[in-house]
Chains A and B, each alone.
Chain A
Amino acid sequence: MNPPIFEYFAPTGIDEVIDILAKYPGEAKILAGGQSLIPLLKSRISSIPYLVSLSEVKGLSYVDEGKEGVRIGAMTVDSDLENSELIRKRFPLLHDATGQLADPLVRNVGTIGGNLSHADPANDLPAVMIALDARFAVRGRNGSREINARDFFLDTFTTAMEPEEVLTEVTIPFWGKKSGGAYVKFKKNTWNFSVAAVAVQLELEGNKCTRAHIATTSVSPKSGRMESAENILVGKALTDEVINKAASEVAASAQPTTDPYGTEEYKREILRRITREAIRKALSRAGVN
């Protein structure tokens, strides 16, 4: 199966990219790694008349350590994140996710910008970025603006970006000294995406949890924070009882649906168990056993 016809542009400047997007509102789309877009075109489920590639725009692929956090260029491919020592040390949650995302060859091409902009609730990086409290730099005709990860995902395949806007950079802020995170993904044998996955990032003082972010993959129309569950953790020492309660709350407040990946009930149960595992892992990475 092969793509339908489209026009292709590969400008060298980001402003030209934005100009082309603005010229064909709703009809033009960015092509990053193409690992979501090209399979979609090949399936002929949808057609996109104009593709604007970011491949010729220089300087969009980097992982830099700044004062307040790590800055990642939108065209950085998953395998560069997976192999980044900096990410592994500072954000094991992101390292967990990139190592399990798709397969090694897809990870050599798929980009962080594409993974997020695609806003597929089955993609792994939205939940990860929400849990890490990342900020996205988005550039349009009137310059750049910043959107918080938790405000970025509006619905399945829908983001807070305007059609002519481009995601250029992701900033993940450093968390406190005593913090840790984990991503636990449950796949149904060979299936492409997960039955459920969960991202947990915690910060502690002594053995008390002071900050907790939990976000899920594949079990809601969009990835978002699970605040009711987070509230169960914050202010408490994370005993088994507290962890179990939070995990049950995540399972109860998610919105999975029955589909070939499993029944709604099954997905909730899996989600409960992986959330429990993720909190425990995050806790131990924060240095609490």
Chain B
Amino acid sequence: MVSKKHISITVNGEVKETEVEPRMLLAHFLREVAGLTGTHIGCDTTNCGACTVIMDGKAVKSCTILAVQANGKKILTIEGLSKGREKLHPVQQSFVDKHGLQCGYCTSGMILTSYWLLKNRKNVTEEEIRAAISGNLCRCTGYDNIVESIKDASKKMEEEGDPIEEHPEIKVRA
């Protein structure tokens, strides 16, 4: 038997402490230990990005990070974007308004990658958007409406600001 490891990960501002097997993937930790099933799994070769989360301010693929590697880190998942607020986060709202989703399976990852992009870049061009989401696959939308959603989100974030800024514990590093 391998020894379990004690880890402490801050997920959406809440500290989660537990023992896990070293081989447990962060994606499974989030889904099955923390109960946050908005993080999806769509492949086994780190290609699809359905599992995207923000770790210490950067968008990463949680299927290719061990939970033990995330020890001591701050994670933001899709659930954290509008946590405790009835109103959607501007990026989420834009995906609703501009039909940036169909089946919704890639959506959590797309939204988090977009959020990370928009925290790092102002006035994004279409080309920058398409490059930024090149590690997130969508089989339904053909990307048009996703790109439109991100453009719209860029505007919304400029106008309305980022509600997450009020929660420093889950803030994204820009």
Contact = CB atoms under 8 A, between A and B. Distances in A.
Interface of A: 1-8, 10, 31, 34-35, 38-39, 41-43, 51, 53, 55, 79, 102-106, 108-109, 192
Given A35-B64, A103-B135, A109-B64, A55 B69 contact: yes
Given A104-B134, A105-B113, A108-B60, A6 B65 contact: no
Given A7-B3, A104-B134, A51 B49 contact: no
A55 B2 CA distance: 20
B25 interface: yes
A5 B23 contact: yes
A109 B131 contact: no
A2 B51 CA distance: 14
A142 B45 CA distance: 38
Contact of A53 (B25, B59, B69, B135): B69
Given A43-B44, A51-B22, 11 more contacts: A8-B2, A34-B64, A34-B65, A38-B46, A42-B45, A53-B68, A103-B134, A104-B59, A104-B131, A109-B61, A109-B64
Contacts of B12: none
Nearest to A39: B46
Query: Could you say which of B22, B25, B61, B68 has the most chain A C-beta atoms within 10 Å of its C-beta?
Result: B22
A55 B5 CA distance: 15
26 contacts: A1-B44, A2-B23, A2-B25, A3-B25, A5-B2, A6-B2, A6-B22, A6-B23, A7-B2, A8-B5, A34-B69, A35-B64, A38-B66, A39-B45, A39-B64, A43-B45, A104-B134, A105-B52, A105-B61, A105-B113, A106-B61, A108-B58, A108-B59, A108-B60, A109-B61, A192-B47
A4 B23 CA distance: 7
A106 to B, nearest CB: 6
A261 B90 CA distance: 42
B69 to A, nearest CB: 6
Contacts of B44: 1, 39, 42-43
Nearest to A8: B22
A182 B78 CA distance: 39
B132 interface: yes
Contacts of B131: 104
Given A2-B25, A43-B44, A109-B60, A104 B135 contact: yes
A106 B60 CA distance: 7
A31 to B, nearest CB: 7
A11 to B, nearest CB: 13
A17 to B, nearest CB: 15
B71 interface: yes
A192 B43 CA distance: 14
B61 A104 contact: no
A8 B135 CA distance: 28
Closest 7 CB pairs between A and B? A103-B135, A8-B22, A1-B44, A108-B58, A3-B23, A105-B135, A38-B64
B33 to A, nearest CB: 14
A192 B137 CA distance: 13
A31 B28 CA distance: 19
Contacts of B21: 5
Contacts of B58: 79, 108-109
Given A3-B23, A43-B44, A105 B59 contact: yes
